[in-house]
Chain A
Amino acid sequence: MLVTIYAVTTQHSTSWYYTICPPVDRIYWADIPRALFALEPPIPLCYARQWLDENQSLPIDTLPALTYSIQQFAEQSNWPSSLIRNLRFVSGLALHAFQKDDQRQLQLDESQWLKMCMLLQGRSLLITELQQLLQHHNLHHVAENWPRYIQQAILCDRVRLSPGVQLFRQTSRKWLVFKQNKRILQCSRCGADAQHLHRTTCETCGYECSYCNRCLQMGRCKQCSLVICGVKSDTFKPIARTVTKTNERTSLTVFQKKAADAAIHFLREQTHHTFLLWAVTGAGKTEMMFPILEEQVQSGRKLALVTPRRDVVLELLPRIVQAFPESRVIALYGSSQQTWQDAEIIIATTHQMLRFFAAFDTVIIDEMDAFPYHNNPMLSYAVQKSLRQQGQSIWLTATPPADSIRLIRQGRIPHAVVPQRFHGHPLPVPVHCQMAPLYEQLHRNQLSRNVWRSIRSSLQRGAQLFVFIPKIRLVQPVVELLQHAVTSDNDKTCESIIKGTSSQDEQRSLKVQAFRDGQINILVTTTILERGVTVACADVLVLDADNSLFDRTSLIQMAGRAGRSSQDPNGNVWFCSHHWTTEQRAATKQIKRFNDFSFGKVRNI
């Protein structure tokens, strides 16, 4: 999309603007005594923004002088040479043939325009997304003639445009001493820097143009593309909504209640930006969220519940819809049908936050240490951007990263700890089980006797068994190894169905469902099932637990699959390995410390 730069001069001052639809601006400035100067030809938005940012106070002399100065500026900041050659200023804004009849055609439908502004509040969209949004809400006229509607909204400051990839100035030092001004490119949607940007010739604008590779799956963000950000009007008043109590959130344990109260206190105080809720695996995090959500909905604040994974979104949706029948709740994910609806409570994957801008008062991030949110600068940027200026975020996790734990211990971050499961029983403590390295056992086609003893005891007590292994290609061999061990054992009680699955398995969801239903006794899997799967009566066996792929957090998560229900609170967890590594020791130590903390044996976590 190309835009036209123009200047409006009155007797005392000059101000610069850009427009995507010049006739709208002409009408807008018609009543005010002024002189208009416009730049020809239209240029990509990225460069227009740069000119406006750096030359807002440029005095206007004569048109040739102005033309000279913009050409100088363009050459300094490396605009495409084919563009620089043609740049010139002309007086007036009659760029396109503009007759009297057009004025009637340019009439905007006021009610539709207002509706569009309402819909755009808090969103940050590309053109194709804008059109989808408008089509979804039956604003077909606006969708067809979006430039003039958007331009009107820009003039009224209801919408702000930013280029998909923007240039901005950064001061750095050469030889550590001399100041140097550099212009760098940055994706304005996901915050990617030059290493993620790819420069090619663009057929849309006709010049050299960079696009962002990092957020490509959400649509192509280019130097010449528009990102339309709806501004939330200040007149927006929170609509308090009544919430009827349902059975879902009546019984909270003492620890749960304490944590939820701490979170609500944090939200009311509004002195800090982030709150960390550290709850052990199976502590009932969703139940704890209900009082927080209730508080938010009652005070009319807009809220998003984000989680890195899609299945969690789908799992949460029915529970929250049931708990808040008066509020509009929607789920957003890759192929969601509800993408363009408006709601008070939004449950979304973290990627969807790229489509929002200053929209939420509160964002709750579930499993903040999980893939792909953890260590992903794009997603944390997206979540930060979706928050309003005074917005707050709550991080929920069972295994915070090491630096967050340090902050908690030093008391530098508001937090709450839930060291106990909802049924009040201690967490199962992992037991070390000595075995030869897995590849050796596979080579000899013989399962270690220690491991088999653990499996047999688990099967005999009627439990289902998670077997975690570090590599996808080992899944099938290990399944065969276990089958061999089962058939060679004389004990009839050990007959069982063994299946293996991994991220590359197409029938994964089917197998996981069968495992949940109890049709499979032993499921061999990789770390993909370390979170989010709840089986009533389960034991956990980690093979090759000394592998470098299993760190403290994933070991704790895997151990957390056992003993989750109140019928079978004491599951067994075995870490089978040749060596007893620091990671295994750290995981065991932390689980023990949680148990001690919940029974008052230690004061600090």
Chain B
Amino acid sequence: MRLAKHIIDNLIAKLTETVHKKDGSKIVCLACGKRSAQHSFFSQQLCNHCANDIPWIMKHVCEFCGRVQACTDCTERLRANGQVLHKNRSAVQYTPTMKKWLASYKFRGDERWASIFAEMMWLTWQTQMDTPIDIITYVPTSKERAIERSFNQSERLASLLSERSNIPVMPLLCRLQNGDKQSMKSRTERLSIEHAVFGFNSQALGQWKQKSLRVLIIDDVYTTGTTLHACAKCLHEIADIRCYGLTWARS
């Protein structure tokens, strides 16, 4: 009797499951939370409607940092330091909607966003970066922040991009001190940082004794470029390394 009941229960459960699966063929969008029949062309987790609103950077004005407006920072930096970071490209403009997406990934810690962002960056890489790359690396976080957030947002993006492009990812950099969060500072404060924040992680580059390397540094947002330039400068001083930058957003 009990077995019969069990069998019937199981059958009902199986039936409801199949019904749910039919419903599950629609995707649930990460950005708007709604069910949608059509997903975007690059990711299964984003609906078409949200993907259409993405402010892609199609045409850049500044050759160096990939900004859509003309920028003075780059020319000034070039005059002061010489060319350290050869080129930077970003996938999207940092609009309020994109800010919300990034906050949901970085601060709330929803790691499902990583694959979406990486896919967007991969599209940009393919279309706008024409130089070959040997190694991918990422902007490191301090130990405390890593424990607090339990993941490094740039590292996730870098490893996903490495899977996509078959180029190895290496932790070339490490953070020397725990500075305040970049997102808490103003523009002038950010530009004025002079002391070394990043150090070279000498263990990582063991077998790669190639003479000149082309390294791609991954980060989430390029605001003033201080972080990326500091990373590039650190690598530039150690060895004959040409640095390129790829970020998800450009403000």
Say yes or no for A490: interface residue by CB 8 A criterion: no
Say yes or no for B7: interface residue by CB 8 A criterion: yes
Contact residues of B between 124 and 147, Cβ < 8 Å to A: 146-147
Say yes or no for A222: interface residue by CB 8 A criterion: yes
Say yes or no for A141: interface residue by CB 8 A criterion: no
| A176 and B7 form a contact (CB under 8 A) | yes
Contact of B6 among A173, A203, A217 (CB under 8 A): A173
Say yes or no for A507: interface residue by CB 8 A criterion: no
| A203 and B150 form a contact (CB under 8 A) | yes
Q: How large is the interface on B (under 10, 10 to 19, 20 to 34, 35 or more residues)?
A: 10 to 19
| B109 and A220 form a contact (CB under 8 A) | yes
Contact residues of A between 192 and 220, Cβ < 8 Å to B: 198, 200-204, 209, 211, 213, 216-217, 220
Contact residues of B between 35 and 72, Cβ < 8 Å to A: none
Query: Which residues does chain B contribute within 8 Å of A211, judged by CB atoms?
Result: 109, 111, 150
Query: Which residues does chain A contribute within 8 Å of B163, judged by CB atoms?
Result: none
| A176 and B10 form a contact (CB under 8 A) | yes
| A222 and B150 form a contact (CB under 8 A) | yes
Nearest A residue to B159 by beta-carbon distance? A201
| B149 and A217 form a contact (CB under 8 A) | no
Contact of A202 among B3, B6, B150 (CB under 8 A): B150
Q: Complex: how many Å from CA A222 to CA B152?
A: 16
Query: Which residues does chain A contribute within 8 Å of B108, judged by CB atoms?
Result: 216-217, 220
Q: Complex: how many Å from CA A220 to CA B110?
A: 9
Interface string of A214-230 (1 = CB under 8 A from B): 00110010100000000
Q: Complex: how many Å from CA A116 to CA B6?
A: 48
| A203 and B149 form a contact (CB under 8 A) | yes
| B110 and A213 form a contact (CB under 8 A) | yes
Number of interface residues of A (CB under 8 A): 16
| A203 and B146 form a contact (CB under 8 A) | yes
Q: Shortest CB–CB separation between residue B195 and chain A, in angstroms? A: 26
Interface string of B151-170 (1 = CB under 8 A from A): 11000100000000000000
| B147 and A204 form a contact (CB under 8 A) | yes
| A216 and B146 form a contact (CB under 8 A) | no
Nearest A residue to B112 by beta-carbon distance? A198
Interface string of A126-163 (1 = CB under 8 A from B): 00000000000000000000000000000000000000
Query: Which residues does chain B contribute within 8 Å of A202, judged by CB atoms?
Result: 150-151
Q: Which residue, A213, A217, A220, has most C-beta atoms of chain B within 10 A?
A: A220
Query: Which residues does chain A contribute within 8 Å of B7, judged by CB atoms?
Result: 176
Query: Which residues does chain B contribute within 8 Å of A176, judged by CB atoms?
Result: 6-7, 10
Contact residues of A between 402 and 421, Cβ < 8 Å to B: none
Q: Complex: how many Å from CA A216 to CA B147?
A: 17
| A216 and B150 form a contact (CB under 8 A) | no
Nearest A residue to B141 by beta-carbon distance? A203
Query: Which residues does chain A contribute within 8 Å of B156, judged by CB atoms?
Result: 200
Q: Complex: how many Å from CA A227 to CA B10?
A: 34
The DSSP consensus for interface residues of chain A is mixed
Query: Which residues does chain A contribute within 8 Å of B149, judged by CB atoms?
Result: 203
Q: Complex: how many Å from CA A177 to CA B147?
A: 46
Nearest B residue to A217 by beta-carbon distance? B108
Q: Complex: how many Å from CA A8 to CA B152?
A: 39
| A203 and B152 form a contact (CB under 8 A) | yes
Contact residues of B between 77 and 106, Cβ < 8 Å to A: none
Q: Shortest CB–CB separation between residue A179 and chain B, in angstroms? A: 11
Q: Shortest CB–CB separation between residue B48 and chain A, in angstroms? A: 16
Query: Which residues does chain B contribute within 8 Å of A203, judged by CB atoms?
Result: 146-147, 149-152
| B6 and A200 form a contact (CB under 8 A) | no
Query: Which residues does chain A contribute within 8 Å of B109, judged by CB atoms?
Result: 211, 216, 220
Nearest A residue to B152 by beta-carbon distance? A203
Nearest B residue to A1 by beta-carbon distance? B147
Query: Which residues does chain A contribute within 8 Å of B10, judged by CB atoms?
Result: 173, 176
Contact residues of A between 210 and 265, Cβ < 8 Å to B: 211, 213, 216-217, 220, 222
Query: Which residues does chain B contribute within 8 Å of A217, judged by CB atoms?
Result: 108
Q: Complex: how many Å from CA A105 to CA B130?
A: 60
Q: Complex: how many Å from CA A395 to CA B149?
A: 38
Q: Shortest CB–CB separation between residue B169 and chain A, in angstroms? A: 14
| B6 and A198 form a contact (CB under 8 A) | no
Q: Shortest CB–CB separation between residue B97 and chain A, in angstroms? A: 12
Q: Which residue, B7, B108, B150, has most C-beta atoms of chain A within 10 A?
A: B150
Query: Which residues does chain A contribute within 8 Å of B6, judged by CB atoms?
Result: 173, 176
Query: Which residues does chain B contribute within 8 Å of A198, judged by CB atoms?
Result: 111-112
Q: Shortest CB–CB separation between residue A80 and chain B, in angstroms? A: 15
Query: Which residues does chain A contribute within 8 Å of B110, judged by CB atoms?
Result: 213, 216
Q: Complex: how many Å from CA A284 to CA B57?
A: 55
Query: Which residues does chain A contribute within 8 Å of B112, judged by CB atoms?
Result: 198, 213
Nearest A residue to B143 by beta-carbon distance? A203
Q: Complex: how many Å from CA A173 to CA B3?
A: 11
Contact residues of A between 164 and 181, Cβ < 8 Å to B: 173, 176-177
Q: Shortest CB–CB separation between residue B22 and chain A, in angstroms? A: 16
Q: Shortest CB–CB separation between residue A113 and chain B, in angstroms? A: 26
Q: Which residue, A176, A209, A213, has most C-beta atoms of chain B within 10 A?
A: A176
Q: Complex: how many Å from CA A216 to CA B109?
A: 8
Query: Which residues does chain B contribute within 8 Å of A201, judged by CB atoms?
Result: 151
| A204 and B111 form a contact (CB under 8 A) | no
Query: Which residues does chain B contribute within 8 Å of A209, judged by CB atoms?
Result: 150
Q: Complex: how many Å from CA A204 to CA B7?
A: 44
Q: Complex: how many Å from CA A176 to CA B112?
A: 35
Q: Complex: how many Å from CA A204 to CA B151?
A: 8
Q: Which residue, B111, B149, B156, has most C-beta atoms of chain A within 10 A?
A: B111
Interface string of B8-40 (1 = CB under 8 A from A): 001000000000000000000000000000000
Chain B positions within 8 Å of A, measured between CB atoms, are: 3, 6-7, 10, 108-112, 146-147, 149-152, 156
Known A203-B147, A211-B111, A220-B150; 20 more pairs at CB < 8 Å: A173-B6, A173-B10, A177-B3, A198-B112, A200-B151, A200-B156, A201-B151, A203-B149, A203-B152, A204-B146, A204-B147, A209-B150, A211-B109, A211-B150, A213-B112, A216-B108, A216-B109, A216-B110, A220-B109, A222-B150
25 residue pairs from A and B, CB less than 8 Å apart: A173-B10, A176-B6, A176-B7, A177-B3, A198-B111, A198-B112, A200-B111, A200-B156, A201-B151, A202-B151, A203-B146, A203-B147, A203-B149, A203-B150, A203-B152, A204-B147, A209-B150, A211-B111, A213-B110, A213-B112, A216-B109, A216-B110, A217-B108, A220-B108, A220-B109
Q: Which 3 A-B pairs have the closest CB atoms?
A: A203-B146, A204-B150, A220-B109
